Structures are given as structure tokens and as C-alpha cells.
Structure 1
């Protein structure tokens, strides 16, 4: 199993610190990048595509964020998909237990699963095994 690149898109700075430490401690991913909203992550994706830089293998995506939320990110991601030549597995990671959010996640084939916050080491093991 080769190590993958993972992106965390979440507006909560404390959660960012915690999940980054969990990811680094797991040693399951070669690199982790963090973004505080979907717009920052879309810009990074566009930049990576334009410069043929490394794209993430896995994205942990929060739903409720300012500027561009998780669903708006997914809409932009669908538009970028024809330019993305590698598979990117997206996992919704949210504290929302709303059934409509879980149903909406199923509408996107790129979304592999809907996970509850916080992500733990077992979640990361399953994520890395799936990719």
C-alpha cells in the first residue's frame, strides 16, 4: 500500500490542529494540507491542475463553512472533474446528523462515505485501505 496525499477542508482551527496531528501520527499519508473553506481548496485544486502538481488522493470535507461550504465545493469539483486525471476520494466529515445532508452526499459518486466528527485513527485506517 503506497502512502497517499490527504487534504482537510474545515473552518474550525482547533479541529484542523487535532485532525492534522491524528493524520501525521497515523503515518498512513505522505502529506496533509489544510484549507479553511471550500474556495481555498478549489483554488488549490485549480492551481495543481494548471501546474500539473500533485493532487490529493483523499479529501476530508466539512459541510458547514463560511465563504464556500462543502456542497458548493462539490458543485465546483464536478465542473473540474474532466480536468482531473486521478481519482480523488471525498469523505464528508461533519457534526451534522441531518438526514438531508446524508442523502445529499449520496448524490455525488465522488463521495465515498459520510463520517461523524471527529475523525479517529480507525477512520483513517479504513480510508487508507479504500484508496
Structure 2
């Protein structure tokens, strides 16, 4: 399905979906959303772009192998759990810090770090699967 209209709309739709996936990721534990659904939306955005333009432009756009992103996400999620051990509390206990950034107090937490890790794991694994299927389909 490489129509002119689809190829024209795909970059805008993909970038809007990536922006929305970050919004869903960041509103995570306080409201519905989080890393899993954000990763699904981001992988869907890359799949749409891949259908419109092919696999090689998508691989150039993400710059890293998708499974490497998935491994990075698993590392980040594990770090979120290990930080609680260093604080002397049980594994995966939520910890918060409140740094001042640009004059505003920002709440940063290990649950947010865990959600970012889940986002990368889901995004990387689904993007890798989608790209492999699209490469096979084009042959």
C-alpha cells in the first residue's frame, strides 16, 4: 500500500504518534498509560512509516538495532529495581527525588525509570518483529 496519499501522510502521522507515545509514557503511574502502551504506540508509528517507505529508511531513522534498544530498556528497568536495594529497602520499592530544574521542583522516581525501561523493551522487540516481517514481505 504505497499510495501517494499514504506516503505523504505517513511522516506526519508517525511523528504525531511518537509524540503521543511519549505523552502516554510520562503520564504513567498517575493516570492510565505507562511504558507498555507507550511502547506499543511508538512501534506502531514505525510500522506505519515502514509500510509507507520500506524498511531501510526506518532503520536509518532509529539509528540503533531495535533489539539493542530492547536490551537497553531491560537494563534500565533492572537498574530501577537495584536502586532500591542500595537504599536499604526491598527490591522494586519506589524511591523519589525532587530536584530543582529551571526553578521548578520536579518529582523523579524509580517507577518512572522502570516505565522508561518497559517502553524501550516493548518498542525494541515489536519494532524488530515488524521490521523483520516487512523485510520478508518485500522479498
TM-score past 0.5 threshold: no
Q: Which has the higher strand share?
A: 1
Q: Give TM-score scaled by structure 1 length.
A: 0.29
The TM-score, its normalising length taken from structure 2, stands at: 0.28
Bigger relative CO (Cα 8 Å, ≥ 6 apart):
2
**In proportion to residue count, which structure has more helix?**
2
Higher CA-based Rg: 2
